[in-house]
């Protein structure tokens, strides 16, 4: 049997694995075999909306986006392999972590979905951080719930369950209200010893809620926690019809625990062991570092979450990633089209960023702020994208591009410096996301920003949709007795990453020094950002 006929049989016989990830701007679907080889991909675009001061996505857009991404995947499989899947060996769902989806006893959404991007939860996050003795960021689900209590929102007494976006989609597909450990750890603190929600923190929250006149049993409201490799239900007829309204998709496929984009990013980069870490760059940007030990103290810029198999992770999360850079690239694309030279967005990215490393290592004295929304690490509650220079600075495309790239990583580098001061060591950081398709330019800029070698693999652009497909394959292997339920790291290394294609770039001393100069200028320039926030409503 040829390789292509074997691949076709894998798809037709329902042995392939399907991963779906709902990111900030794209819903991606990825089809793999049981060794993680990508067989086909599909995607659909969507955008968040600012409604009455809060960032949200309508749930109807979740449904239509899932269907569009899935249809795109099926069409790609048919075109590439002459085969359309009707069932799967396993399916996984991933999505943006955190946020707030609250439902009543009839499973009706009580308020519009509040995403991770919202920063209105400051009082709640501060109170919970003090109460739990652990940093509770603004975007965590429990901060959203407690802020609603503090604000006396009328929907709160009617809440019967709440979850993340991945948990919501998983329930649509299976009827089960569960979460993977990594995603759950961004809703409420987990106890790594038990793999469940921290019992003392649960009791403390219930005391705080009672003081606000809300008697809640938090265990009933939160989804159940499942580790990587667990069986998390099967695709129901209703779930199959949701994904594929044509009726071709059959019910019955196994689903793995739903995960957040941070967890799938760790899997996609094989960064689930201590002293490994990864950076995911998209609309937001975050670093995940698997810890050898707990941190010595609480840091407001560091979240403590877990890997999908419940090991402690230090997370440096920045609300703003590459969106502003993407907007500038779009502008240059319009300019090219106006000259009669329309180009693919990836080509424009390459053209804009291609010479970025030819600029001075400190970006020619230019400054770029990618802040479309608030950035807690930088100490700003709102965003005003800015490009700033002095009259004497040299304005070139290379310098502009380098400043924009450096700006993408600026807030992240502040948090990483905190971890370095704590004595946290990372052997190599793995990077993934579409930004790292730029021929090593973004990779080198990130290496300078965090003063560490950065590895990027060939599949870096697929990111979490591939990562959750791999987790689905792991759940299937555990179910079939082909893998141990508590050996995710070993299984990844043996089954998925045995032949690594990662390219590693180490920062030069000049790059590190240049970035440090840029970052110091960037920190001082935050006064400009704050002035813009105050002046421009």
Q: Any idea what the CATH number is for the domain that residue 10 is in? A: 3.30.420.40
Whether residue 310 is contained in a domain is answered as: no
In whole angstroms, how large is the CA radius of gyration of the chain? 23
Pick the closest to residue 118 from 47, 39, 49, 33 (CA basis): 49
Which residues, in sequence order, are CB contacts of 421 under 8 Å at separation 6+?
none
If one counts every other C-beta atom within 10 angstroms of the C-beta of residue 276, the result is 20
Helix (H, G, I), strand (E, B) or coil at 355: coil
- Kindly state whether residues 217 and 343 are assigned to the same domain: no
- Kindly state whether residues 526 and 447 are assigned to the same domain: yes
**Predicted local distance difference test score (pLDDT) of residue 418:** 93
Whether residue 367 is contained in a domain is answered as: yes
Using CA of residue 218, residue 221, residue 222, residue 223, what is the dihedral sign? positive
- Kindly state whether residues 260 and 338 are assigned to the same domain: no
Pick the closest to residue 133 from 184, 200, 196, 187 (CA basis): 200
- Kindly state whether residues 366 and 424 are assigned to the same domain: yes
Pick the closest to residue 362 from 321, 327, 323, 405 (CA basis): 405
* Cα 430 to Cα 418: distance, rounded to the nearest angstrom: 19
Domain containing 520 equals 323-456+507-535
* 340: its two tokens: 């009669």
**Predicted local distance difference test score (pLDDT) of residue 1:** 61
Please tell me the pTM assigned to this model. Answer: 0.85
- Kindly state whether residues 328 and 257 are assigned to the same domain: no
Report whether 444 contacts 318 (CB < 8 A): no
- Kindly state whether residues 438 and 475 are assigned to the same domain: no
Which residues, in sequence order, are CB contacts of 8 under 8 Å at separation 6+?
81, 82, 83
- Kindly state whether residues 162 and 211 are assigned to the same domain: yes
Helix (H, G, I), strand (E, B) or coil at 65: helix
- Phi first, then psi: what are they for 30, rounded to 5°? -135, 130
DSSP 109: B
Mean pLDDT per block of 10 residues along the chain (537 residues) reads 85 97 94 94 94 94 98 97 96 97 97 93 96 94 98 97 98 98 97 94 98 95 98 98 98 98 90 91 89 91 93 92 94 95 90 88 92 91 94 93 95 94 89 80 93 79 85 98 94 88 89 95 96 94
As a dihedral over the C-alpha atoms of residue 105, residue 256, residue 194, residue 191, rounded to 10 degrees, the angle is -70
Helix (H, G, I), strand (E, B) or coil at 380: strand
Per-residue b or e along 439-460, where b marks 16 or more CB atoms closer than 10 Å to that residue's CB? eebbbbbbbbbbbbbbbbbebb
Side-chain half-sphere of 469: how many Cα atoms within 13 Å?
A: 29
As a dihedral over the C-alpha atoms of residue 14, residue 19, residue 22, residue 25, rounded to 10 degrees, the angle is -100
Whether residue 182 is contained in a domain is answered as: yes
Angle between helix axes 397-421 and 345-353 (nearest 10 degrees) is: 80
Side-chain half-sphere of 62: how many Cα atoms within 13 Å?
A: 24
- Kindly state whether residues 253 and 387 are assigned to the same domain: no
- Kindly state whether residues 135 and 205 are assigned to the same domain: yes
**Predicted local distance difference test score (pLDDT) of residue 216:** 94
Which residues, in sequence order, are CB contacts of 384 under 8 Å at separation 6+?
369, 371, 529, 532, 533, 536
Whether residue 196 is contained in a domain is answered as: yes
**Predicted local distance difference test score (pLDDT) of residue 458:** 65
Report whether 308 contacts 267 (CB < 8 A): yes
* Cα 142 to Cα 163: distance, rounded to the nearest angstrom: 10
Secondary structure (DSSP) of 169-236: HHHHHHS--EEEHHHHTTTS-EETTTTEE-HHHHHHHHHHHHHTT----HHHHSPEEE-TT----B--
Whether residue 353 is contained in a domain is answered as: yes
**Predicted local distance difference test score (pLDDT) of residue 269:** 86
- Phi first, then psi: what are they for 234, rounded to 5°? -130, 160
Whether residue 186 is contained in a domain is answered as: yes
| Beta strands across the sheet bearing 26-32 | 38-45, 26-32, 17-22, 90-95, 259-260
* Number of domains within the chain: 2
Only one residue has tokens 């450096």, namely 406
**Predicted local distance difference test score (pLDDT) of residue 301:** 87
Whether residue 293 is contained in a domain is answered as: no
- Kindly state whether residues 24 and 130 are assigned to the same domain: yes
**Predicted local distance difference test score (pLDDT) of residue 4:** 80
**Predicted local distance difference test score (pLDDT) of residue 462:** 62
- Kindly state whether residues 216 and 190 are assigned to the same domain: yes
**Predicted local distance difference test score (pLDDT) of residue 503:** 87
- Kindly state whether residues 433 and 492 are assigned to the same domain: no
Whether residue 285 is contained in a domain is answered as: no
- Phi first, then psi: what are they for 503, rounded to 5°? -105, 125
């Amino acid at each position: 049997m040829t390789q292509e006929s074997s691949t076709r049989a894998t798809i037709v016989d329902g042995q392939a694995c399907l991963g779906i990830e709902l990111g900030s701007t794209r819903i991606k679907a990825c089809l793999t075999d049981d060794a993680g080889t990508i067989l086909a991909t599909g995607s659909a675009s969507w955008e968040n909306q600012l409604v009455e001061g809060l960032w949200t996505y309508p749930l109807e857009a979740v449904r239509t986006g899932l269907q569009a991404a899935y249809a795109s995947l099926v069409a790609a499989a048919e075109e590439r392999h002459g085969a359309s899947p009707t069932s799967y060996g396993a399916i996984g769902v991933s999505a943006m972590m955190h946020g707030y989806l609250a439902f009543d006893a009839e499973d009706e959404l009580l308020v519009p979905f509040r995403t991770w991007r919202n920063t209105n939860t400051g009082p709640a996050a501060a109170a919970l951080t003090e109460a739990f003795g652990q940093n509770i960021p603004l975007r965590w689900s429990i901060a959203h719930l407690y802020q609603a209590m503090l604000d006396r929102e009328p929907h709160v007494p009617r809440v019967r369950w709440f979850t993340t976006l991945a948990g919501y989609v998983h329930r649509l597909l299976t009827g089960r209200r569960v979460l993977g450990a990594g995603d759950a750890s961004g809703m409420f603190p987990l106890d790594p010893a038990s793999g469940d929600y921290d019992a003392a923190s649960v009791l403390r929250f219930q005391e705080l809620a009672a003081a606000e006149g809300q008697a809640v049993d938090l265990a009933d409201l939160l989804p159940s926690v499942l580790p990587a490799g667990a069986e998390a239900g099967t695709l129901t007829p209703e779930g199959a019809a949701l994904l594929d309204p044509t009726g071709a998709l059959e019910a019955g496929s196994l689903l793995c625990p739903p995960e957040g984009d941070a967890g799938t990013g760790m899997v996609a980069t094989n960064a689930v062991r201590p002293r490994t870490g990864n950076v995911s760059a998209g609309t937001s940007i975050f670093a995940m570092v698997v810890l050898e030990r707990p941190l010595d103290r609480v840091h407001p810029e560091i979240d403590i979450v877990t890997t999908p198999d419940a090991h402690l992770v230090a997370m440096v999360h920045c609300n703003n990633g590459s969106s502003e850079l993407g907007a500038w690239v779009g502008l240059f694309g319009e300019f090219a089209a106006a000259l009669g030279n329309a180009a693919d967005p990836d080509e424009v990215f390459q053209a804009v960023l291609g010479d970025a490393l030819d600029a001075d290592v400190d970006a020619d004295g230019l400054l770029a702020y990618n802040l479309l929304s608030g950035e807690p690490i930088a100490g700003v509650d709102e965003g005003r994208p800015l490009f700033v220079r002095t009259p004497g600075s040299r304005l070139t495309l290379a310098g502009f591009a380098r400043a924009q790239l450096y700006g993408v990583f600026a807030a992240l580098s502040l948090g990483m410096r905190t971890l370095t001061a704590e004595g946290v060591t990372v052997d190599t950081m793995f990077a993934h996301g579409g930004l790292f398709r730029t021929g090593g330019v973004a990779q080198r800029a990130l290496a300078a920003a965090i003063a560490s070698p950065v590895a990027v693999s060939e599949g870096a652009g697929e990111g979490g949709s591939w990562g959750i497909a791999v987790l689905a394959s792991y759940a299937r292997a555990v179910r079939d007795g082909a893998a141990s339920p508590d050996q995710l790291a070993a299984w990844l290394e043996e089954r998925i990453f045995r032949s690594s294609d990662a390219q590693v770039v180490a920062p030069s001393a000049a790059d590190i020094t240049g970035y440090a100069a840029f970052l110091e200028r960037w920190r001082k320039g935050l006064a400009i950002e704050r002035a813009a926030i105050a002046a421009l409503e």
